[in-house]
Amino acid sequence: MIVRLEPRATAPRWLQAALTLAAIVVALAIGAVILAFVGGDPVRAYLHIFDAAFGDIGVLSDTLVKATPLILTGLACALAFRMRLWNIGAEGQFLLGAWGAGAIVLVPILPAGMPAFVVIPAMMVAGALAGGAWAFIPGILKARLGVNEIITTLMLNYIALAWLQFWVFGPWSEGGFQQTGPFPREAWLPRLTDFAAQIPVLAGLTTHLGLVFALVATAIMSVVLSRTRWGYEMRLIGDNARAARYAGINVAKYVIVVFVISGALAGLAGMSEVSGVVHRLQDRISPGYGFTAIIIAYLARLGPWRVVLASILFGALILAGREIQPSGVPAMIQGIILFCLIASDVLLRYRVRVGRPAEATATAPT
């Protein structure tokens, strides 16, 4: 008896959804076995994750806060991955975005006392610009010299972190601590709890305007990808870059532009995080959002709205994971989820046939 894989042209949508769910369930099960093996209590850990992420409206709001940067960085990765551009640098672009947004009030670029409706858009622009500029480097190197973008984006992550550290330990340090002073109130994104005076139910809810940015970005990306020529040409390039080139598409330009937009989205995530949550700059503003974003993009199969769903799931994992010991458990589970996903992919792309060897050799593949 022999197991053969036969390519299939299209997979039904229900199969995609079912396999994705199955992959998550299997991954959690494998994670539980490992947890039990190292002496943890998997049932309690998972119950804790669920409770600490969705248990009441307060923690649900916290989950959305964690999901916000993940949506934006997840979109950044999904966009680049559609063109088979492996932007592994969302983490660095996120940090640069946070730095750029912080520069508006810390340099300060805008004089103190400007109203929020000036400061916040300026921070958004600065964050997106800084992130986009950071991603321009791997973009132009890839487009002009064919330099492997995986290596450049990764190295730029390390450089971005050292850059941010220089500013928060050095020129912008507050009293020698590893952080800047707090931003003025005009530089804070409005949170639900800020309206508690009018609507008491909102008291204590930390969900902030960044979530709206993320959802608007999702909607725009969804429309651009599915309804415009850009989206169509990007898909062509992703499927077969050489054929796209013969069709007269300027692939190099797309590579650069997509990298910059991808970086700008990640930069906006950084801005949203410092302006909406941290309210100051420090070097530990990201628990690896830019890396988790890679898994999210893949889990979402590069679909913008599915990125939102996946981000909420991972937001929960990160939020609850903070309290789980040992600290490597969330990273481990993320890795296992990703493996289960790629393993399940084989069922999407191929039909598994079980037959006898004689049959197998008789049917020559095309």
Partner 1 sequence: MIDLTLILAAGVASGTVLLFAAIGEIFAERAGVLNLGVEGMMLFGAVAGFSVAAATGNPWLGLVVAMLAGGLLSLLHAVMAIHLRAEQVISGLALTFLGTGLARVLGDGLSSVGAVATLPRLTVPLLAEVPLIGPVLFREQSVLTYVGFLLVPLAVYWIDRTRPGLHLRAVGERPAAADAQGIDVVRLRYLYVLVGGLLAGLAGATITLAISPGWFGDQTTNGRGWIAIGLVIFAQWSPLRAALGAYLFGAIFRFIIDIQGVPAVLGFPNPFQAGRSATFFLEMLPYAFVIVVVVIGSREALRRRVGAPAALGIPYVRGERGG
Minimum distance, C-beta of residue 293 to partner 1, in the bound complex (Å): 11
Nearest approach in angstroms of CB 259 to partner 1 is 15
> CB of residue 206 vs partner 1: minimum separation in angstroms?
27
Nearer to partner 1, 59 or 331 (CB): 331
Nearer to partner 1, 86 or 254 (CB): 86
Q: Which residue has tokens 């013969």? A: 246
Residue 47 burial (CB count, 10 A): 13
Q: Give the residue with the Cβ less far from partner 1, 215 or 252.
A: 252
Q: Report in angstroms how near the CB of residue 184 gets to partner 1 at its nearest.
A: 24
Q: HSE, CB side, 13 Å, CA atoms: give it for residue 184.
A: 17
Nearer to partner 1, 152 or 262 (CB): 152
Closest distance to partner 1 from the beta carbon of 332 (Å): 3
Please give the residue ranges that form the binding site for partner 1 (CB under 8 A): 5, 34, 38, 86, 88, 141, 145-148, 150-152, 154-156, 158-159, 162-163, 165-166, 169-171, 173, 291, 294-295, 298, 325-336, 338-339, 342-343, 345-346, 349-350, 364-366
Count of other CB atoms within 10 angstroms of residue 155: 15
Among residues 145 and 197, whose Cβ is nearest to partner 1?
Answer: 145
